[in-house]
Structure 1
Amino acid sequence: MRPVAIVGLDCRFPGAPDAEAYWDLLMRSGDGVGKVPDGRWAAGDFHSPTGAEGHTNTTEGGFVSDPDVFDNEFFTVSPREAAAMDPQQRLLLQCAWRAVEDSGTAPQRLAGTPTGVFVGIMGNEWAHLHMTDYARVTAQLGSGNGYCMTANRISYHLDLKGPSLAVDTACSSSLVAVHLACNALLSGECDTAIAAGVNVALTPALGIFYTQAGLSAPDGRCKPFSAGADGIGRGEGVGAVVLRRLEDAVADGQPVYAVIRGTAVNQDGRSNGITAPNRWSQEEVLSAAYRRAGVEPSEVAFTEAHGTGTVLGDMIEAKALGRLHSGRPGRPLAIGSVKGNIGHTEGAAGIAGLIKVALSLHHRVVPASRFAAKENPALKLAQQGLRLLKAPLRLRSGPALGGLSSFGMGGTNAHAVLESAPPHAARLEPANTGAGSGRTGLGAGIFTLTAPSTAALRRNLLVQADAVRRRRAPVGPLSWSSNRSRTGHRYRFAVPARDTGELAATLREAATDDDVLARLSGGPSGKPLPALLFTGQGSQYPAMTARLYEDAPLYRRFLDEADAALAPYTPGSVRDLLLAGDPAVHRTGWAQPALFAVEYALAASLAELGVRPALLLGHSVGEYAAAVMAEVFPLEHAARLIAARGALMEALPEGGGMLAVRASLADVAELADAEPLVGVGAVNGPRATVLSGDLAALGRIEDVLGRRGTRTRRLEVSHAFHSPLMEPVLDRFAAVADETGGGVPKLPVYSTLRGRLLEAEPMDAKYWVEHIGAPVLFGDAMARLLEAGPTHLVETGPRPVLTGMARPLRSSAGATTHTVAPVPAEGAGGTEFAEAVAALFRSGVDPRWDAAYPEEERTPQRLVPYAFSDTSRYWTRGPVRATPAADIGPAPAATPSPLRQAERPDRAGGGAVPPGGGAVLTAVLPAAGQDRADPVARSVTEAVAEVGGYAPDEVSRLSLLYEDLGFDSVMVMELKDRLQERLSGLEAMSVQDLLPRLSSVGDLIDYLQDRIGSAVA
């Protein structure tokens, strides 16, 4: 069998709310067993110390805490549907989500992929409680129950297209599910598989069965292979693993906990009773798994046994193991069973054992088996080549093998052989090693987090802050891991950080300070359309981007590339000039190629990060870098052309200048026309004109404008650019331009030579020659660019200039664009560049995160699992025997029920709505913000709230029926019927009539108002 990697996992077992707590429980031999919790069954009614008929012999078992808590808003499940769902479905949804995140993958990225879901499950007690009162069966109850739905629910909510099935082989169900998942991966049926198991004890029925069959331990605790073993103690829990073919996991850089080398499944056949184990079948399933794994029994260091703690079960399992391992003198097979810690979790038993074995191989230590202090002498473990683990077992260096058995009560047996992750596979680094800081590709890591609401964002920021504060992992790998797995939701948070101390402090501050949270988070409103603006001459300064060059290897790479392209045409290294802080950068011969190098390096760095421009605009010499990005010509041609331009202009006689005038072109055109040596250098806006030419002539114009009260300002330039004084260089420049050429842009370029978008026009030699003397029509070009609706204006230059010039144009156009500056000020470095990337992410851009980190920083780190909301609770209340069927969702006040499913958070007080001894009541009130006098709006809001199980104030005109309220086709049918009943004068309508009008509650209200006016029942 080809190896299958376990790349992600999550679990929730008695005394252990997550995988980290589970491992801690195992390592300290903790006890997760306790009294039957309140809200299950009335323990006294079903308990008899002697286990009399119809009673159990124990009031204890292994129970998970708060199994009624479900974050239905996260999964866009209406309260009514959540209340009808088997809690096993709810637990699996949350567990599967966190396991996928743990694999280093954002769950949304699996949408549409042939990912398989395989769930092991044994009990369906929720259906027994709720589907037998036929008068109260609803569509939601139908989809909320059934074994198939435990798997199908995961596939539906994650939009997975691979095989999706539930498996019931009793106690071996979830290991059989793993076996089927591995086979599906190896056959090519899917490329990723989620294998899971779940068990929730809602009734004492199985406990009564165990008692009557003589299998139940009076203290509710399994004592595997112990002298005190006296039966089974029930347990519950949920676990999920994400599986990939090992070669795929390695290729994708996913962390590998352990590798499944081989699995096997068989059946007892006819033995001495359908519930009795068969030693020979157990031996054969072990042998088959070893054969598929290609290993000898003597190579296996330990086995997680089925280990129920029943006299017969332990005896037969020990003999089956002994048959294969008795010839191991001096190195007996170590055995144990997690059932001693958490009880027999039935349908989840296999996954509980699998996660224990995977973690043992990952940490290279096998926890001691609880109740192992005195083993059962009748088992003769030593003679069979076995030893019960009384203390943790440290695994030897090199590959280590572990086994796992899971045997079903009806005779279906499963065994798996696992191996430690190979050296070439990515490993999750321990949380307490490494340095807290580290160099990244940008000089700072960018930690990201997303959530479906701001409340969820705050909650998870706090959880992450506490986790980051406790660990000393480098900030780069932590940030990279967050970029891979914590993205995809509506509300986006991103912050650059140089070390984990700084990161932890910022995460906590953002979680507790609304202003900080608003600054560091955002939500995209549509598809990103970034425009790159390339700054012109005059923005240069000594040492521009020198600190960024030192901080960010990514930027360094592209500036070096530009420097190499310029080197044959410049008197020295542009890069060295910048790093030395040489004031010669202000000389035109240096300024123009230096600006080009910086702008090309910034734009290329952004492109490498996945920030590819949709629109381009360059102010004067800024068009050269824009042209390279638009593939007008290659970098080498642009470098030759810009170097020639700068050198030729610097060789011109001095005596020219430029004058910025706070006036329109029309206001100054006559004055410019009267001076033959003066031209219009630039038109930057409706009242922002630059004149360029002879200094004496500019002085005369300045005097006239001063007398008019018009504001003017002399620009610090060496020559009169874009003026008649440039004419002497044109012929020599044209000769170079003819050789370099230039084609039609492959991206939209808003030309500041033409003042508009270039329409299939080449930026050829003629264009670049005209570019030297013609005015810069920035205002017109920018106005046209804004009409295209860019979402971002990214200033790709050594300091922000153009975004400020564009501000009045944005205001007049009503544009709502984000402005971003990778170099916001002189002296900016990697942190500022990283902040620009973070800002782009917050507002909707999805960077290529790998480019932000060198390869050594791209090592997976385990982040704490997503923290789901615990404010909504859905559970059966009251004695089970008193009312066998619960009332699901909103119910009329005339039919109260002692069973309450939905406890929604009180939005005003933040607490939970108490049961009140009756059903969920939906008051007939208008939603917040609705007009109480509008009967159509009131009726629609009431109907939507009732169908979804929402409080009226949770529904508004802006609520989206599918995305926000979790409506589906069944709920739409019911909504149609309720609206027909409520609204008199409403002609009969079909679901097809409604479907186009169901975007939001407001749309539905408007449609119905148009259809019937204001006539209501």
Structure 2
Amino acid sequence: MPGPFAGQAAEQGGGPFAGQAAGRIAVVGLDCRFPGAPDPDAFWRMLLAGAESVAPRPASRGATGEQPGAPGGFLDDADAFDHAFFGISRADATAMDPQQRLLLQTAWRALEDAGLSPLQLAGSNTGVFVGAMSDDWARLQLSDTAEPTPRLGIGAGRSMLANRLSYQLDLRGPSLTVDSACSSALLAVHLAVNSLLAGECDTAVVGGVNLVLTDALDAIYRQAGLAAPDGRCKPFGAASDGIGRAEGVGAVVLRRAADARRDGQPVHALLLGSAVNQDGRSNGIMAPSRRAQREVMLAACRRAGVEPAEVSFVEAHGTGTPIGDLIEARALGDVYGPGRAEPCGIGSVKGNIGHAEGAAGIAGLIKATLALRNGVIPPLATVGGEHPSLALRDHGLRLVERPEPLPADVTRVLIGVSSFGMGGSNAHVILAGAPREADAPQAALAADPALAPDSEEVSAAVFTLTAPSGEGLRRNAAAQAAALARLTPDWAGEPAAVPVGRVCWTSNRVRTGQAYRLALPAADLPGLVEALRDAASGEERCGNAPGETPVLGFLYTGQGAQYPGMTARLYRESALYRHHLDRASRALDPHLPGSVVELLLSGDEAVHRTDWTQPCVFAVEYALAATLAELGVRPDGVVGHSIGEFAAAVAAEALTLEEAAAVVAARATAMGALPEGGGMLAVRADVDALAELVEAEPLVSLAAVNGTGATVLAGDLGALARLRERFAEQGTGATALKVSHAFHSTLMEPVLPEFLRRAGRIPTGRPRLPMFSTVTGGVLDAVGDALDADYWCRHITGTVRFADAAQTMLRAGITHLVELGPKPVLLTLARRVPGGARVPGLSVLSGPQSGAQALAAAAAELYRQGAELDFDPLYTPADRRLTRLLPQVFDDSVRLWRRPSAPGAKPSAASTASSVAPRDHAERAGERAARTENPAEAVPASVAAVLGVDAAEVGRYDRFYDDLGFDSVMLMELKTLLEERLPALGELSLPEMMAALVSVDSLVSHLDEQLAVSRAA
């Protein structure tokens, strides 16, 4: 049998991404909720088992006629809506058609499944296409309330199904709701495909939704002889006797295949072609047309560039009505029956869930997509086997009665999907399998060896998760842990189903951007699962929303923190760090007798020699800062201790890397050439307590003031020994430091001529961001002291005033500290400075074992504290690939379901469940009675009435737009209520009111002023 791309497609070289693949559409994301199946995995399990979900009609779908409502397929939790997640007030959510609510959550999850962050699509030309045919909610709302309101108007109506989604996510592409009856959703797919191919949008969200809120359509089906008495569809079955109604919602995310491939998005399936048509004036407006169905299928095949005989399976419309099934079977036989060695398989998802009407087409499309993704055609769920009148095999067709595995190469498998609408609007699409995800990276690595990582290189993986609330963050952490646990190996040493780097990289792309943040460094999947479980188990472990964006102060460690093999592990494991350390080493090479990198990697003890220590420390600190800069983390101020000040000067852009390297090398070489002698003594006392003793020893200098109880002396060894004895007598702790010279003392003065000679012309630099000098203890900036030869000479012989510099930095508004050095030293000192104990701090490295995981831990902590990071550079090329993560798990505890009154009954509070319904005349009258002359009472009460919450929940400083989610409709409602509550003000000026509409407090102040003017008049 010829391959699926015979004919036109075969001429292009084969393969779904070749030739005409430029016009192919990729299904990159999906999500759904159908009866008995709350998510795609559950839906697939139901399909594979051939199970069905038909139940008695719930009380919330109570009949409005004389006869009880028929059984059918109903969603268990259609009333659940996480309105807080979307920033929608409870009152607005209550007035909103539940179909809108279902679409919001389902579309969000489908976008995440596509590897897209819905928040990052804001402002894009993403299109929204929704299929729906039910207006039950609008009819119930508008007929069951005494006074329609604007909130009811925007909460109902089919047009708002698509527009609500576009509005909520700030999507700027085409946005429309399609109603062609039962073919609505698949027709929406066709329109989305054309919009993508025309360039109107680059991403399309296509949804279908249906809720059964009244039995009006039941009555129509029943009177037309189309209703199944038991509420179950039996497609093409011997017991087929009509339609069983069903609810459901589904969404797919579509992109042009070339764009999806370019962006590395995993593809569920490829949509090769689609077509729509109309029956025209056929044998009755409600009756299907064999001719029209045949034509739409042939048109879809032509547009897909395939021969009908190449299609191996058709997901049929298959309502289970005897006449409808017969006509459809004959049309299928006309198109897909001839010229094939084996009959074409057919099935219908309506046998599993019932007829989801406006959402039926998306249900069939998702079923076909899952079949291609999983490599199995599910069996048809029907009753009694094939209906004898169909004689399917005589027409080249057969029912799929058991799961049928597909060939390993699903790119050669074609599936057709049909959806036909009452009234004659027909749609058909052709799908093909997408290349297996596992094949793509291996091919890419083989084609480009440069992508293959070094044998020791690993990703500095950070798993990120965000949510609008702490509770939501913990809920999703627990859900992610459970989902990832299924991917972890059962036996030690067994590889995980998906590399942890891919999991984390995907989370960085998809699960960021909301207020509450979780970030976990991850070396492997089991460890990540445990960390997620731990985070989910307690509020303090999961983290809170960061406050303002952190103001970062970088601390650059001085000489003494070095050790053999310094950062060698990080160099081997991180290509990012390796690149920058190599660059620093190359800048130093012309001025040194060897390579800094080679010395560090060898673990040579020579790193403790001054002529090597200083260049090595400088190179490491420069590389660490440059690494963070590539992640988007840059300092707002810097302070460097001794040799660390050179790396700080580069970060502050006072010196270039090459300029600083020349000066550092000259300094180190000159100091290294000085004969050894002198020493340094760390004293656990304040500088003031030492002044008298130090003055008595002219060969001892104050080398460093690091903080409270942290002073360093330097000078002649004999003088230091005498001082140490005196300190012992006083009970003052003192420790001799392991150094070769008395740094930062008068004994370093002989170094200066050699330093200046070797350094040559030292450039004069001025920092472009605040540099807190340990020479002066103050701040250097673009108009302050210059970093010139005199400065660097004082830097050699003078006191390191770290405590003063750190305190100046904290007073300048630095909120977070980051230490860059071989190991943490300065953070402890900074915390001794007044106010320093309250400032969060982290050190990128902790010692010789610090590798990629240390970098990951630092990145995770910075992100938790509110810094915005570009995580991409942390990962190896092989890990920068999307994988599918569990999408958002919404809060289902809030139930918003308005139960309408019986016909003719007066609306009452009983007509509302779990929330506040729009106000009726009685409530309005109550509001009018609550008159006052106090805006401090009237504003919160009116705001609470608009939001449908208790006045105690309205905060004085809540912002109307950012915190309370006010829009123009809510503003007009607020204006009306304030005029009723504050009659002394008369009619409020809308422009003046809008100017004051910053916060509750600002509006109160504005109204107080208006009242004062009114009384004065």
Cα separation, 2, equivalents of 1:790 and 1:936: 39
Q: Is 1:899 the counterpart of 2:911 in the alignment?
A: yes
How far 1:69 moved relative to its partner?
A: 1.0
* Alignment-derived partner of residue 459 in structure 1: 475
Q: Which residue of 2 aligns with 1:263?
A: 274
From 386, 389, 401, the equivalent of 1:375 is 386
The residue that corresponds to 1:893 in the other structure is none
3-state secondary structure, aligned to 1:69: coil
Contact conserved, 2:702 with 2:714, CA < 8 A, in 1? yes
- Is 1:478 matched up with 2:523? no
Does the 8 Å CA contact 1:532/1:616 hold for their aligned counterparts?
yes
Q: Which runs of 5+ in 1 are unaligned?
A: 48-55, 430-437, 888-895, 905-912, 925-932
| SS at 1:131 equivalent | helix
Shift of 1:22: 0.9
- Provide the C-alpha distance between the structure 2 equivalents of 1:820 and 1:347, rounded to a whole number of angstroms: 55
Superposition deviation, residue 584 in structure 1: 3.7
The answer as to 2:885 corresponding to 1:863 is yes
Structure 2 gaps of 5+ residues are: 1-19, 443-453, 489-497
Deviation digits for residues 645-704 of structure 1, max 9, x if unmatched? 223212212222334566777777787778765554334458765443334455677788
**Which residue matches 2:643?**
621
Aligned pair in 2 of structure 1 residues 418, 128: CA closer, same or farther (>3 Å)?
A: same
CA positional deviation for 1:259:
1.5
Aligned to 1:77: 88
> Following TM superposition, by how much is the alpha carbon of 1:171 offset from its aligned partner in structure 2, in angstroms?
0.9
Name whichever of 382-391 and 658-667 sits farther off. Answer: 658-667
User: What are the superposed Cα offsets for residues 791-828 of structure 1, whole Å, 9 maximum, x if unpaired?
Assistant: 4211011222222222244617xx96431211235644
Cα 1:122/1:574, change in 2 over 3 Å:
same
Say if 1:164 and 1:762 are closer, same or farther in 2 by CA, change over 3 A.
farther
Greater shift after overlay, 248-257 or 579-588? 579-588
Matched with 1:783 is 807
Aligned CA-pair RMSD: 3.5
1:31 aligns with: 52
Worse-superposed segment, 691-700 or 868-877: 691-700
Q: Distance in 1 between matches of 2:849 and 2:337?
A: 72
Q: Cα–Cα, structure 1 residues 763 and 294, in superposed 2: closer, same or farther, change >3 Å?
A: farther
1:909 is matched with none
> What corresponds to 1:51 in structure 2?
none
1:420 counterpart = 2:419: no
Deviations 1:753-797 (A, max 9, x none): 453123167645665455333433433433343344234211011
- 2:75 and 2:255 map into 1 onto residues whose CA distance is 29
TM-fit CA distance, 1:23 = 0.9
2:8 aligns to what? Answer: none
TM-score by length of 2: 0.87
Determine the C-alpha separation between the residues in 1 that align with 2:816 and 2:643: 22
In 1, Cα distance between equivalents of 2:344 and 2:814: 66
Q: Offset at 1:635? A: 4.2
Q: 1:161 and 1:348 mapped to 2: Cα distance?
A: 24
Give the stretch that moved more between structures: 132-141 or 60-69. Answer: 132-141
Matched, 1:940 2:951: no
Aligned twin of 1:929? none
CA 1:366–1:765: 2 relative to 1, 3 Å: farther
Whole-Å Cα distance in 2 between the matches of residues 288 and 681 of structure 1? 86
SS in 2 for 1:292: helix
Query: Where do residues 271-670 of structure 1 align in structure 2 (5 Å cutoff)?
Result: 271-371=282-382, 374-398=385-409, 399=411, 400-422=413-435, 445-472=461-488, 473-517=498-542, 521-549=543-571, 551-563=573-585, 565-567=587-589, 569-575=591-597, 577-579=599-601, 581-631=603-653, 635=657, 638-660=660-682
Contact 2:271 2:432 in 1 (8 A): yes
Cα pair 1:62 1:342 within 8 Å, conserved: yes
Q: How does 1:780-929 map to 2 (within 5 A)?
A: 780-809=804-833, 811=835, 817-825=839-847, 827-877=849-899, 880-881=902-903, 883=905, 896-903=908-915
Per-residue displacement from partner, 1:628-649 (whole Å, max 9, x unpaired)? 4445555455445433422321
Task: From the superposition, tell whether residues 442 and 994 of structure 1 become closer, same or farther in structure 2 (CA, over 3 Å).
Answer: farther
Tell me the amino acid that sits aligned with residue 971 of structure 2: V
Tell me how far 1:527 sits from its aligned partner: 2.9
What's the secondary structure of 1:493's corresponding residue?
A: strand
Aligned length: 964
Deviates more, 1:556-565 or 1:25-34: 556-565
1:192 matched to 2:191? The reply is no
Q: Which has the larger displacement, 827-836 or 594-603? A: 827-836
SS at match of 1:658: strand
Counterpart in 1 of 2:252?
Answer: 241
Q: Aligned partners of 1:425, 1:593: CA distance in 2, in Å?
A: 45
Give the drift of 1:173.
Answer: 0.9
Compared CA separation, residues 987 and 636, structure 1 to 2 (3 A): same
- Contact 1:738/1:765 (<8 A) preserved: no
Q: Mean alpha-carbon deviation: is it higher for 954-963 or for 523-532?
A: 954-963
Deviation at 1:567, TM superposition (A): 4.9
Contact 2:460 2:875 in 1 (8 A): no
1:726 aligns with 2:783: no
2:978 paired with 1:979: yes
Change (3 A) 1:983 1:326: closer
Q: Report what 1:758 is aligned to.
A: 781
The answer on whether the counterparts of 1:254 and 1:426 sit within 8 Å (CA) in structure 2 is no
Task: Tell whether the 8 Å contact from 1:3 to 1:260 is kept in structure 2 after alignment.
Answer: yes
Deviation at 1:498, TM superposition (A): 2.3
Name the % identity: 52
Name the CA shift for 1:98/1:861 in 2 (closer, same or farther; >3 Å).
same
Cα pair 1:372 1:389 within 8 Å, conserved:
no
1:936–1:471 CA distance, 2 compared to 1 (3 A): same
2:507 partner letter:
S
In the other structure, the counterpart of 2:950 is 951
Evaluate the alpha carbon distance shift between residue 488 and residue 923 of structure 1 in structure 2; reply closer, same or farther with a 3 A threshold: farther
CA deviation string 1:371-430 (max 9, x = no partner): 17621232232232222211222222331222111111121111111121246899899x
State the partner residue of 1:891.
Answer: none
Write the mapping of 1:989-1000 to structure 2, written as runs, cut at 5 A: 989-1000=988-999
> Aligned partners of 2:737 and 2:115: how far apart in 1?
53
SS at match of 2:176: strand
8 Å Cα contact 2:667-2:759 kept in structure 1: no
Residues 646/137 of structure 1: CA separation in 2 closer, same or farther (3 Å cut) = same
The alpha-carbon deviation at position 976 of structure 1 amounts to 3.0
For the residues of structure 2 that align with 1:577 and 1:964, how far apart are their CA atoms?
56
Q: 1:142 to 1:426 in 2, by over 3 A?
A: farther
> 1:561 Cα deviation (Å)?
4.5
CA distance, structure 2, for counterparts of residue 672 and residue 138 of structure 1: 83
Give a deviation string over 1:882-941, Cα, whole Å, max 9, x none: 64x9x6xxxxxxxx343114348xxxxxxxx9xxxx9999999xxxxxxxx996544433
SS of 2:373 mapped into structure 1: helix
**Higher mean C-alpha displacement, 267-276 vs 601-610:** 601-610
Is 1:5 the counterpart of 2:31? The answer is: no
- Judge conservation of contact 1:800–1:821 (CA < 8 Å) in 2: yes
